[in-house]
Each structure stands twice: as C-alpha cells, then as structure tokens.
Amino acid sequence: MSLTQSFFVIGLLIAASAFFSMAEISLAAARRLRLRQMADEGDARADRVLRMQEQPGDYFTVVQVGQNAVAILGGIVGEGALSPHFSTLFGWWLSEGNAQTTGFLASFLVITSLFILFADLFPKRLGMADPERLVVRLAKPMAWCMTILRPVVWFYSRLADALFRVLGLSSLRDDRITSDDILAMMEAGTRAGVLAAREQQVITNVFELDTRMVSSAMSQRDRVSFFLRDESDAVIRLRIAAEPFSTYPVCEGDIDHVVGYVDAKDLFQRVLNNQPISLADDSLVRKVLIVPDRLTLSEVLEQFRQVHEDFAVIVNEYSLVVGVVTLNDVMSTVMGDLVSPLDEEQIVRRDENSWLIDGVTPIGDVLRALSLDELPHAEEYETLAGFLMVMLRRVPRRTDSVSWGGYKFEVLDVDSYRIDQVMVSRLSQAGSQDNANTPGTIV
C-alpha cells in the first residue's frame, strides 16, 4: 500500500471514529425535555432518540465496538505506512536499530495525535455544542450499525448486563427531574441572560415554600392588632384609625383566646352606613383558621385553599398564639417587594461591608444576603434572633456580639427581651482568616 493510499485509509478510519464519538456524546448530552418538544412538533427522529435513551445499552455497545476496532486498524495501518519513512529519515543521523525505534515512536505519535484531535476532541466538542440536532441526524445510521452488528452487540450487551447484575447496579437511565435540577437550570438561564435575576429569585422562593416554616412569614404576636369581643364601638373605631389593617382577630379576654376574626371591609361598611359596631354580633365575626407553628408555608397555602380563607392564627404546642399570617404574607415571601413595597425592609444594606437586620428575619434570608452556606446549629432556630440566643446561650443584651464565617453579629437594640436590630459587619481579611480557624467568637 502506497503512502497516499495509507493516508486515505487513515482518513476514512478517523472519519468513522469521529462518527462514533459524535454519536456517543450527542446521545448522552441530549436533553429529554428538548427532544420531547421536538417530537411534539412532529419530528419522528426525536421519538427514535427518546427510545434509544430509555434503552441505551445496544447503542453504546456499537459505539465502543466501532471505536475500538477503528483505533486498532488505525494503529496497524499507520505503523505500517509511516514507520518506514520515519526510519529512513532518522537513519541519516542514527544507527539502524535506533532509527527504527525512533521511527516507530514518531509514527505512533503522529497517528495518535491525529486520532485524538480529529476523532475524539473535535467531534465530542461539536456534539456537546448542539447535541439534539446532531443526535437526531445520527440516529438512523446508528440504527443501521446496530442491525449489522447485532450478533456482536447481543454478545457484549449480555456480558455487560450480567456484570451489572453481579454488582447490583442499575443500567437504566434515571431521568427524574428534581427541584435542584430546576434551580440549576434557572441559575444557568440567568447567567445566559434568558431570565432576569428577579425572575430567578421568584422561582427560587417558590421552591423554598416547602422548607420555610410559617413563622418566617407571620406577623409576630407583639405586632398583632386585635379586638376584644366586649370592646365598645368607640374603642373599635379608634383602634381602626390608629392601626389600619385588613383583618383583626377577635378574642375573648386576651389574645390567647381567639374566637374568630373580623374583616376591615365589614367594619368600614358599617361605619359608612352609620351603623354601630358590636363584635357580639355573630354575623360580623367570622370563623378563624388556626394552624400550628410547625407547618411550612406550602402547607399553609394548602390550608388556605381548602377552607377558602386568606387569614390564619398561628399557635404553638401550648395553644398560645405566636402570630398571624395572611395570604399576602406568603405571596410577599415569594414575590418580595413586588407585592408589598411599602413594608419596612428586614434587611437594609448600609454599605459594602455592613447590614442592619431585624431580629425576626428568617435565617434563610440572612444567609442569602450574606452569601453564607450555613450557620452553626441551624436546626435549633429559624430567625437571626434565635441564632444569637443559641450562640450566646442566654437572652442577648445590647452590644452583645457573635463572630462567625467572616461576619460580626452585634445586637443594637433589645425591646422587652426581643431583639429588634442587629448590625452585621464583614470582618477584615485577616480577621476572616483567624475566624475561619475557630468555631466562633462570642463577646
């Protein structure tokens, strides 16, 4: 075989190996959602690829048989075609034995480099760039190869299946899509400019409804405005003017004995009609939804849906009221300031290295604002105030501070044992390094 013929054969072998490389990587990288979309649009080839992805064993067997056979043939042809020429060339400077050895190594290096570049790296990068378009084009030729090589495919596939059974492994592709997968796609979409950062945050907040407790969105007990059932018309009118809300719990004696709630619209209607307001009127007081404080926001939404209400009173295990939550509170958690832009922000960034944070801010929001992965003993609290109490092992006082993860958490204001404001400051680089080597610093 002449040198020209040898190079022609090597070129064909490289092309065949490139075909198998693209077929392999494009099937593995093809997204099922995109293929399903193409199939729904009428592309029958996408349906074929989806079936191949469900049972890829025979497909990859053909790929491996083809690639290994081509590689072996390429080595044989290349060594026989190039080694003599390289040996002759090196014979001008080396002895005959050394020239033959050097010629063989040079031939091996050239053939291997050609296969790595044109039969592996380039086709695989091409397959990764647009896997769905390539795999639907290569599916039919691969089907022909599987038919032609069926006996070989059957033999090696059965051996591979037996090996999987012996090792107790599954050979089926797991195509379940988890919330982490969706969030990762949303993050990639944001980086690519397909999604706005605000849209990504909303989607992330929706998934957090299953993990965030209702206490992270509720109005705390000491901020709840309520009516006693025996209060006079004048007192009720003054309360409405001083604390305008859409809904008020109605209690018997104190806040821990809630008997219902009254809608501000009903009260306003009576005021406009010059009618007296009496909470002893059962037609004015509605039945209230009571939920435990261990529910997640997703579970609270389901409760709202079942009873067709948008207001609930939250109680703890001792049947004491800890707060109230509305549908607007839950939606504010999802949408942020798009729903209630006039509400006071819980996290205010003062400058590049400091934040002013409300003590009742959910710990997840704090982690996001500070770009932290976690805080210690995370299972023992739900708010920033809880974090400080756990770390200090007592009720914090003004000027108490905790340093952790490169940040200093300093209590600025305490009102009746309730932590109102916390100043969070980023420590200096040197301080951060020292802090990273210790579990935490408490002052």
Q: What is the pLDDT of residues 406-420, one digit of tens each?
A: 899 999 988 877 888
Confidence (pLDDT) at 222: 83
Mean pLDDT of the 311-333 span: 89
Backbone angles phi, psi at 441, to 5 degrees: -125, 130
Q: Give the pLDDT confidence of 230-266 residue by residue, as tens digits.
A: 888 888 888 888 888 889 999 998 999 999 999 988 8
pLDDT digits (tens, 9 = 90+) for 60-80: 888 888 888 877 777 777 666
What is residue 321's predicted lDDT score, i.e. its pLDDT? 92
CA angle 225, 226, 232 (to 5 degrees): 125
Q: State the average pLDDT over residues 201-205.
A: 80
Of residues 81 and 115, the one with the higher pLDDT is: 115
Predicted local distance difference test score (pLDDT) of residue 312: 94
Domain ranges of the chain: 3-167, 179-208, 214-335, 347-442
pTM: 0.57
CA distance 172 to 253: 64
pLDDT range class, residue 373, cuts 50, 70, 90: confident
CATH architecture of 347-442: 2-Layer Sandwich (3.30)
Residue 429 has pLDDT above 70, yes or no: no
What mean pLDDT comes out for the span 388-407?
89
% of the chain exceeding 90 in pLDDT: 15
Secondary-structure percent of the chain, ordered helix, strand, coil, rounded to 5: 55, 15, 25
Say what the pLDDT of residue 338 is.
Answer: 47
Q: How far is CA 96 from the centre of its chain?
A: 64
Per CATH, is 214-335 categorized as 3.10.580.10? yes
Judged against a pLDDT cut of 50, whether residue 288 lies above it is answered with yes
- Tokens 């796609």 correspond to 185
For the segment 378-406, the average pLDDT, to the nearest whole number, is 88
Question: What is the residue type of 67?
Answer: Q
DSSP symbols for 316-385: -TTS-EEEEEEHHHHHHHHHGGGT-TTSPPSEEEEETTEEEEETTSBHHHHHHHHT-S--TTGGG-SBHH
